[in-house]
Amino acid sequence: MPCHRKPERSLIVKGRQFPVCFRCMFLLIGLLLSGPLAIYGPLWPLLPSLVAAVAACLPLLVDGFTQKWKLRSSNNFLRSLTGLAAGAGLAQFAVAAANAGVRFILY
C-alpha cells in the first residue's frame, strides 16, 4: 500500500509507529468492518453501489489533494473520517460487484 508513513500523521503507541498513516489505517478498518456487514445485507445493487463508493471516496480525495497542493492543512481526525467513509463505500461496492458476478455466472 503506498502510504507515506509520516510520523506526525501516524498512530504511535509506546514509542512505536504504526506502519500506515491515519487515513490508510481507517480505510483498512472501514474495509474490514464494512465487508462482513455488506455480505450479510448488501445495501444496493451494483450501479448504485458504484455511485455510493465514488461519493464515499470523494471527501478522501478532496482532503488528500488539497493538503498535497498546500491549499489547506488537514488533521488526523479528518483523515480518519474520510478514510473510514472510503473504506465502507469500497467494501459495499466490492460485495455488490462480487454478488453481480456470481449471479451472472450462475444464471
Residue at 62 is within a domain:
yes
Residue at 9 is within a domain:
no
Q: Which domain holds residue 56?
A: 20-106
Residue at 65 is within a domain:
yes
Q: Distance between CA 50 and CA 90 in Å, rounded? A: 8
Residue at 11 is within a domain:
no
- The whole-number pLDDT of residue 4 equals 84
pTM: predicted TM-score of the whole model, two decimal places: 0.87
Per the structure, the count of domains in the chain is 1
Residue at 2 is within a domain:
no
Q: State pLDDT tens for residues 52-99.
A: 999 999 999 999 999 999 999 999 999 999 999 999 999 999 988 988
Q: Distance between CA 85 and CA 5 in Å, rounded? A: 20
Give the CB-side neighbour count of residue 30, counting CA atoms within 13 A.
26
Q: Distance between CA 64 and CA 57 in Å, rounded? A: 11
Q: Distance between CA 41 and CA 58 in Å, rounded? A: 24
